[in-house]
Structure 1
Amino acid sequence: MLQGKRIVLGITGGIAAYKGAALCSKLVQAGAEVHVIMTESATKFITPLTLQTLSRHVVHIDTFDERDPSVVSHIHLADHADLIIVAPATANVIAKLAGGHADDMLSTTLLAATCPIVIAPAMNVHMYEHPAVVINMELLAERGAMFVEPGTGQLACGYVAKGRLAEPEDIVAAVQAWFARGKTLSGKKVLVTAGGTIERLDPVRYLTNDSSGKMGFALAEAAALLGAEVTVVAGRTTASPPGGVRIVRAESAGEMLETVLNLYDEMDIVIKAAAVADYRPVHTYEHKLKKTGERLVLELERTTDILQTLGERKRHQLLVGFAAETGNLETYALDKLNRKKCDLIVANDVSSEDAGFNVDTNAVRIYGPEGLVEDVPLLSKRETAARIMDVVVRRMKTSGGGSAS
């Protein structure tokens, strides 16, 4: 997929800069023509000679180091790139790109670029979660940048937490997925729900769940790569949203239901990956509820089942539901598929350490009216989403572009 592709690799000044060498090597081995831009800070961690040797091209560092008088280097690189990867992407370069700053070779090239940009953040967990960094990443995602989420593990600062650069092979896989995308869903409108809902008890307390939104966002990204026009209705999420999709926020189950129903008729495919609360407090207090005794009894009432409502109102849509279970996967999945009139159900065992909430991997089984359609092994959520969308595309074709039921 990368044969002959011209890729600009931006390496910034974090300890993970050393992984840039492996990433550059893997891209070249896959057939890409790689041109490396390093920030001055990056050269403190890894030498330009290393990247020059691996890429077989001059490494660019200084904006004013113009070696070819016939071109302006940063414009020439931007104009001829099929893709730009920034890995590792520090909080600083993310802020520069979000704010439109251009004060070095990498930032000027990024600002001049019209090609897709892949950003692989790497930083201390507290930096990664800082509101300014979160806002900058969300802004870039809205503009179409694609993010490869950092992993969780030992950080250079000593923390064991989220923030370490994704492994080079994962970044290459994301790049290959970008170039491998077809336009099989061109002209189709896809709605994905993601994250968990919040049911308020009072202004400072609420009922929710552990959903991060990672799976829903990965599905939205996969659908967009296939050419679809994608809308994500998102509840409470901790993951970064993908680029190139419309994000609509809906806090509670009631808000999500209303938002989804308003969009439903115009959609061709609806994937309900959100973890929606089954119950909500009967009474929501306007002021913070004070302690009054040793026990507090909450009365809860059922929320409206969004998936079942969509199944009942389904006309031309292909409807995909999710079943997060802790046992008897097939029994519960097929029951849910039939009761809620879905075309496909994606079932996963959330009690599994590597396939539940707030992890970067998943293992799922996809069921249709005929039974098991595909058993997807443990993969990254991005790869899992691609496999699910492959099944959705096949089901669309066999059903003539509409519902299979």
Structure 2
Amino acid sequence: MLAGKRILLIIGGGIAAYKGLDLIRRLRERGASVTPVLTRAATEFVTPLSVSALAGEKVYTDLFDLTDEAEMGHIQLSRVADLVVVAPATADLMAKMAGGHANDLASTLLMATDTPVMIAPAMNVRMWDHPATQRNLATLKFDGVRVVGPNEGDMACGEYGPGRMAEPLEIVAAIKAALTDGPLKDKRVLVTSGPTHEPIDPVRYIANRSSGAQGTAIAESLRDLGAEVIFVTGPATAARPDGVTVVEVETAREMREAVMASLPVDAGVFAAAVADWRVDGAGASKIKKVAGKLPSLSFVENPDILAEVSQLAEGRPQLVVGFAAETDDVVTHATAKRVRKGCDWIVANDVRPETGIMGGSENAVVLISADGAEDWPRMGKRDVARRLAERIAAALL
């Protein structure tokens, strides 16, 4: 899929720059050519010689190299690629991109290009969470820049949280999706997945049996049709899909915040099994067992994410797809839910234990729309995902 594709890879100045070496190797294994550009800071982490040896190409570092200007001006360099990839995209590089700065080779190339751009952010968790970075991220997304990652994990600085650059193979998958001339090319789709965990105290929580497998399969199918996918997932057991932007959350309220921050999108697929209620005032300490007494728990409603997005006055996705896991009167309950929530489609299924669907590898769904109920035969969850993705693509044409 990448054979003959030309990638302009801008390596920013962060500790994650070392992953750029593996990314070059992975891209070339798949037949792509890579033209590398290093920022001045990047040369403190990887050497131009090592990058050039892996890429099999000259490394560009200086905007004012007259020889390079005679051979290939920075305008030409910015436009001969099929995709411009910035990995790692540091907070500084993101700020330059969002502000339209052009004071070195990398930022000038990014300003001069008319080629699609993808970034793989990497920075300290505090820098990632900073309001300025989040404003810049929103600006870049609005400008059409594709984003892969960041992931959550241990940092080189010793902290933990979101900010780790996506792994090279994740970036390769995202590049494949970006260069796929599928029916969802240039479309942004949000997918929610998995359960939510609502704390009772620091060691106990309320949850459900959702594995997240169907949500992962949907995200992968949408990606394979060329969509840019934002995948917001609760603590699911299913593997996270490669080549998409993964946002990890735990509670319904965290999922709601992540969903709203991901807008605007062309379509939203709300496959997550979000808890309807949470404990009012979850304990800060573990609730101790007292002989002869039961703990008293009171509950409050969680935000209704599907209804909120479906009923947005501004910024509503063109297509909103909800899910309904039912144990009786599946079509009746799902049809009423679609009307009540205000979404376009509901994907309903029967999750009684004897069906083996909740947490299993197969699904049997009914697609509810304004036109009525459409029964799909029982099939693997990946097959359900592919069929749903194709229907979404047709609806967005």
Q: Is the structural similarity TM-score above 0.5? A: yes
Aligned in 2, Cα 1:175/1:235: closer, same or farther, shift over 3 Å?
same
Distance 1:172 1:79, change over 3 A: same
Q: Are 1:178 and 1:225, in contact at CA under 8 Å, matched by a contact in 2?
A: no
**Which amino acid letter does the alignment assign opposite residue 174 of structure 2?**
A
**Do structure 1's residue 238 and structure 2's residue 258 form an aligned pair?**
yes
Secondary structure at the aligned position of 2:378 is classed as strand
Q: Give the secondary structure class of the aligned counterpart of 1:144.
A: coil
Please tell me whether residue 11 in structure 1 is matched to residue 11 in structure 2: yes
| Aligned equivalents of 2:105, 2:217: Cα separation in 1 | 31
Distance 1:396 1:111, change over 3 A: closer
Q: Does 1:340 align with 2:337?
A: no
Change in Cα spacing, 1:112 to 1:84, as seen in structure 2 (3 Å) is: same
Equivalent residue for 2:270? 272
d(CA) in 1 for partners of 2:320, 2:49: 53
Q: Structure 1 counterpart of 2:105, which letter?
A: M
CA distance in 2, matches of 1:11, 1:334: 54
Q: Give the whole-Å Cα distance in 2 for the aligned partners of 1:22 and 1:134.
A: 28
| Residue 382 (structure 1) aligns with | none
* Matched residue, 1:107: 107
CA offset at residue 127 of structure 1?
0.8
Is 2:217–2:381's contact at 8 Å kept on the other side of the alignment?
A: no
1:7 is displaced (CA, Å) by: 0.6
Distance 1:120 1:303 in 2: 31
The answer to whether the Cα contact below 8 Å between 1:63 and 1:104 also exists between their aligned partners in 2 is yes
Match of 1:23 in 2: 23
Residue 123 to residue 191, structure 1, CA distance change in 2 (3 Å): closer
The aligned residue for residue 392 of structure 1 is 388
Amino acid at match of 2:177: A
Please give the alpha-carbon distance, in whole angstroms, between the structure 2 residues aligned to 1:20 and 1:167.
10
Matches within 5 A, 1:32-181: 32-68=32-68, 70=70, 73-181=73-181
**Structure 1 residues 104 and 318: CA distance shift in structure 2, 3 A:** closer
- 2:323 alignment partner AA: F
Residue 150 of structure 1 contacts residue 162 of structure 1 at CA under 8 Å; is this kept in 2? yes
Give yes or no for contact 2:268–2:321 (8 Å, CA) kept in 1.
yes
Greater shift, 6-15 or 161-170, is seen at: 161-170
SS in 2 for 1:166: coil
Whole-Å separation in 2 of the counterparts to 1:82 and 1:338? 49
Q: Secondary structure at the match of 1:236?
A: helix
Change (3 A) 1:338 1:4: farther
Structure 2 match to 1:373:
379
Per-residue deviation, residues 165-185 of structure 1 (Å, max 9, x unmatched): 1110110011112222412x5
Q: TM-score, normalised by structure 2?
A: 0.62
Query: What CA deviation, in whole Å up to 9, does each residue of 1:216-272 have, x standing for no partner?
Result: 99979975984789999x983337966xx735xxxxxxxxxxxxxxxxxxx9x8733
Given that 2:11 and 2:36 are in contact with CA atoms closer than 8 Å, whether structure 1 keeps it comes out as yes
Say if 1:278 and 1:302, in contact at 8 Å, map to a contact too.
yes
- 8 Å contact from structure 2 (residues 177, 226) kept in 1: no
CA distance in 2, matches of 1:238, 1:31: 36
Q: Which residue identity does 2:13 align to in structure 1?
A: G
Distance of 1:120 and 1:192 partners within structure 2: 18
Q: CA 1:182–1:49 in 2, change beyond 3 Å: closer, same or farther?
A: same
Contact 2:146 2:228 in 1 (8 A): no
> Is the CA contact (8 Å cut-off) linking 1:195 and 1:235 kept in structure 2?
no
Q: Residues 6 and 344 from structure 1, CA distance in 2 versus in 1: closer, same or farther, beyond 3 angstroms? A: same
Distance 2:14 2:350 in 1: 39
| SS class of match (2:57) | coil
CA distance in 1, matches of 2:321, 2:379: 13
Distance 1:230 1:65, change over 3 A: closer
Q: Secondary structure at the match of 2:84?
A: strand
Q: Shift in Å at residue 337 of structure 1? A: 5.8
CA 1:36–1:186: 2 relative to 1, 3 Å: closer
C-alpha displacement at 1:163, in angstroms? 1.5
CA distance in 1: counterparts of 2:91 and 2:80, whole angstroms: 26
The SS at the match of 1:102 is: coil
Q: CA deviation at 1:363?
A: 9.2
SS of residue paired to 1:67: helix
Let me know the Cα RMSD of the aligned residues.
4.9
Question: Retained in 1: the 8 A contact 2:89–2:120?
Answer: yes
